[in-house]
Amino acid sequence: MKHRHVFRSRDLAHARAGIALARVSGVEDTDIALVARPDIEMHGVPNRRKEADTDFMPAALKGALYGGLTGVAIGLVAMAIKPLHFGVVAVAVMAVCGVLVGAWVSSLVGSALPDPIRREFAKEIEAGHVLLLVDADEDLHRLVEPRLVEQGYVALGRAHLAPS
């Protein structure tokens, strides 16, 4: 099982050298990414190397769940009020509306949040360091980390997110 390991490099050139070292060490090209301040990324990091995780999907799923539950609750309350004459169909309609609105609003909020790596290592990024992200299983990581550390990269540990 792969886990994301984060290394701090001195600058963009150092990070590029780290990419080459990780690849020579056996890390697949698609398992390497870079994170830096926006001004550094915009001018020096190719799109295929940019880490762009967001909380879009988790937020949309939570929003759909809570929105659906809220819709059902509102529908049941409306059913209980006798003069309104709402039936089971109205509860279903309210649930569907709740799911749609909840997923829509939550996904908008989730997509606006910075990705988990940027939140966790904000101080390193703002200081101008370029983070080298390496997704590797533990055996490969035990091979790659000493090589990177020997070349001046600082191991910041695992990122707290789902493995890619």
Cα 94 off chain centre by: 31
pLDDT tens digit sequence for 12-51:
888 889 988 898 888 888 888 888 777 776 666 555 555 6
- Predicted TM-score (pTM) of the model is 0.57
pLDDT tens digit sequence for 55-102:
566 677 888 888 888 888 888 887 777 766 777 888 888 888 888 888
CATH 3.30.70 for domain 3-53+115-158, yes or no, is yes
For 84, phi then psi, to 5°, come to: -80, -25
Closest listed residue to residue 72, CA positions, set 47, 90, 53:
90
Q: Which residue has the tokens 């390991």?
A: 5
Domain segments of the chain as ranges? 3-53+115-158, 56-112
Closest listed residue to residue 94, CA positions, set 66, 64, 74, 80:
74
**Distance (Å, rounded) from C-alpha 93 to C-alpha 34?**
45
pLDDT tens digit sequence for 132-158:
888 888 888 888 899 988 888 888 877
Using the predicted structure, report yes or no on whether residue 114 has a pLDDT greater than 80.
no
CA-derived radius of gyration, the chain:
23
